[in-house]
Chain A
Amino acid sequence: DGGITQSPKYLFRKEGQNVTLSCEQNLNHDAMYWYRQDPGQGLRLIYYSQIVNDFQKGDIAEGYSVSREKKESFPLTVTSAQKNPTAFYLCASISQGYGNTEAFFGQGTRLTVV
């Protein structure tokens, strides 16, 4: 079945550590996105990539890094520079065509800093 998979579902990190969240899709979508959601707030864009080997900062990119070495994968690294990393992270992929447009989300990763 085609879809988008995030892992892990829950992640605990010690302060000062970097951690990488996985996002994989087999939908052949060009564009992939990372969002952060905090309690009582909407989604905020961290990074997005419209094509392999290219990505752009979103509204809250500080303290995060990404890579897009292949179309299927868009991992997000939460670095120690991110001052408040505890949040729910959502990855999405979107077809880039001008005809049918599909957008799918992963199940999310809940990151907690302990």
Chain B
Amino acid sequence: GENVEQHPSTLSVQEGDSAVIKCTYSDSASNYFPWYKQELGKGSQLIIDIRSNVGEKKDQRIAVTLNKTAKHFSLHITETQPEDSAVYFCAAKGSSGSARQLTFGSGTQLTVLP
């Protein structure tokens, strides 16, 4: 089955700096890679996703890059703000059979220091 590893587990940055979270996956058939933000007391929210036919996607201060050859993808947050503080999860989803389930990374606790 799919295995997703996420690093780092905790990340602290100064307000205004950039934050990068990296994930690797094992199943080359995976074709969908979403990122979720989970704030304390709330459910997880999809913030950006990327499909395997695209190398990079950007939405305002958030961007995701995908390297299919190396089987890794990264979340980039620029100009970080205190409200960006949360737990971020990456995930990978296969395209067929048992690989269709969504496999999550272990999460990264991002803290933006004022």
- Chain B residues near A41: list those with CB within 8 A: 106-107
A33: nearest chain-B partner, CB-CB: B102
Q: Which of A90, A96, A104, A106 contacts B100 (CB 8 A)?
A: A96
Query: Does B104 belong to the interface (CB within 8 Å)?
Result: yes
A42 proximity list for chain B (CB < 8 A): 6, 89, 104-107
Q: Which residues of B contact A48 (CB under 8 A)?
A: 101
Contact yes or no, B43 A6, CB < 8 A = yes
- Residue A111 is within 8 A (CB to CB) of chain B in the complex: no
- Contact residues, B68-114 vs A (CB, 8 A): 89, 91, 93, 95, 100-107
Report the bound CA distance from A94 to B102 in whole Å. 8
How many residues on A have C-beta within 8 angstroms of the other chain's C-beta atoms?
A: 24
Q: How far is the CA of A90 from the CA of B44 in the complex (A)?
A: 8
- Complex CA gap A33/B101 in Å reads 8
For the A-B complex, the count of residue pairs with Cβ-Cβ distances under 8 Å equals 57
Known contacts A31-B100, A33-B102: A105-B93 contact under CB 8 Å: no
Please classify the interface of chain A as helix (H, G, I), strand (E, B), loop, or mixed, using the class held by over half of its residues: strand
Q: Does A92 sit within 8 A of B, measured CB to CB?
A: yes
> What does the 1/0 interface line of A82-114 toward B look like (CB < 8 Å)?
000000001010101010010111111000000
Measuring CB to CB, which residues of chain B are less than 8 angstroms from any residue of chain A? Answer: 6, 32, 34, 36, 42-46, 49, 51, 89, 91, 93, 95, 100-107
Q: List 23 A-B contacts (CB under 8 A).
A: A31-B100, A41-B107, A42-B104, A42-B105, A42-B106, A43-B89, A43-B106, A43-B107, A45-B101, A45-B103, A45-B104, A56-B101, A58-B101, A90-B44, A96-B100, A101-B32, A101-B49, A103-B46, A103-B91, A104-B46, A105-B36, A108-B42, A108-B43
